[in-house]
Amino acid sequence: MCKKVLGKKKNKTSPKNINHSPQIFTRDQHPVSRSLISASALKVLYRLNKAGYEAYLVGGGVRDILLGLAPKDFDIATNATPEQIKALFRNCRLIGRRFRLAHIVFGREIIEVATFRGHHESAPQKQQDCQKTSKQSEHGMLLRDNIYGSIDEDAERRDFTINALYYSSADFKIYDFANGISDINAKKIRLIGDPETRYREDPVRMLRAIRFATKLDMDISEETRRPIKALAPLLENIPPARMFEEFLKLFLSGKAYSNFHLLREYQLFRYFFPIVDQALNNNEEPYLLAFIEQALKNTDDRINNNKRVTPAFLFAAFLWYPLQKHISQLHAKTQLTPQDAFFNALGEIMSEQQRSIAIPKRFQAVMKDIWILQDKLNKRVGKQAYKAFEHPKFRAGYDFLLLRSEIEATAENTHLAELAKWWTDFQQNNHETQQLMIKSIVKSGATQRRTPRKRRKPRNQAAKSSE
Q: Which residue has the higher pLDDT, 135 or 38?
A: 38
Do 156 and 147 contact (CB within 8 A), yes or no?
Answer: no
Q: Is the pLDDT of residue 28 over 50?
A: yes
Closest CA to 113 of 122, 123, 105: 105
pLDDT of 75: 96
Do 227 and 195 contact (CB within 8 A), yes or no?
Answer: yes
Q: Give me the amino acid identity at 133.
A: T
Q: Which domains does the chain have, with CATH numbers?
A: 23-196 (3.30.460.10), 274-444 (1.10.3090.10)
The predicted model gives 57-77 an average pLDDT of 94
pLDDT of 458: 57
Do 434 and 426 contact (CB within 8 A), yes or no?
Answer: yes
Q: Please write the tens of the pLDDT for every residue from 444-463.
A: 655 544 444 545 555 555 45
Active site residues: 73, 75, 159
Do 104 and 92 contact (CB within 8 A), yes or no?
Answer: yes
Distances (CA, A) of 16 to 118, 191, 333, 402, 421: 17, 11, 61, 53, 61
Q: Is the pLDDT of residue 406 over 80?
A: yes
C-alpha–C-alpha distance, residues 24 and 36, integer Å: 20
pLDDT of 99: 75
C-alpha–C-alpha distance, residues 271 and 232, integer Å: 8
pLDDT of 126: 43
Q: Is the pLDDT of residue 2 over 90?
A: no
Q: Which residue has the higher pLDDT, 11 or 361?
A: 361
The predicted model gives 333-359 an average pLDDT of 95
Positive/negative CA dihedral, 24, 26, 29, 32:
positive
Is this model's pTM higher than 0.75 or not? Answer: yes
Q: Please write the tens of the pLDDT for every residue from 207-239.
A: 999 999 999 999 999 999 999 999 999 999 999
The predicted model gives 395-417 an average pLDDT of 90
* Strand partners for 56: 77
pLDDT of 145: 53
C-alpha–C-alpha distance, residues 110 and 91, integer Å: 10
pLDDT of 288: 96
The confidence band for 382, taking pLDDT boundaries of 50, 70 and 90, is confident
C-alpha–C-alpha distance, residues 23 and 6, integer Å: 22
The predicted model gives 399-403 an average pLDDT of 97
Q: Which residue has the higher pLDDT, 240 or 143?
A: 240
Q: Please write the tens of the pLDDT for every residue from 86-123.
A: 999 999 999 987 678 999 999 999 999 999 988 655 44
pLDDT of 284: 86
Q: For 107-229, where are the E strands, in sequence order?
A: 109-115, 134-136, 142-145, 165-167, 174-176, 188-189, 219-220
pLDDT of 450: 47
Q: Give me the amino acid identity at 300.
A: D
Q: Which residue has the higher pLDDT, 119 or 352?
A: 352
pLDDT of 147: 82
Q: Please write the tens of the pLDDT for every residue from 119-140.
A: 655 445 444 444 444 445 455 4
Q: Please write the tens of the pLDDT for every residue from 237-288.
A: 999 999 999 999 999 999 999 999 999 999 999 999 999 999 999 998 999 9
Residue 417 half-sphere exposure, CB side, CA atoms within 13 Å?
A: 9
Average pLDDT in the chain:
88
C-alpha–C-alpha distance, residues 53 and 47, integer Å: 9
The predicted model gives 411-424 an average pLDDT of 89
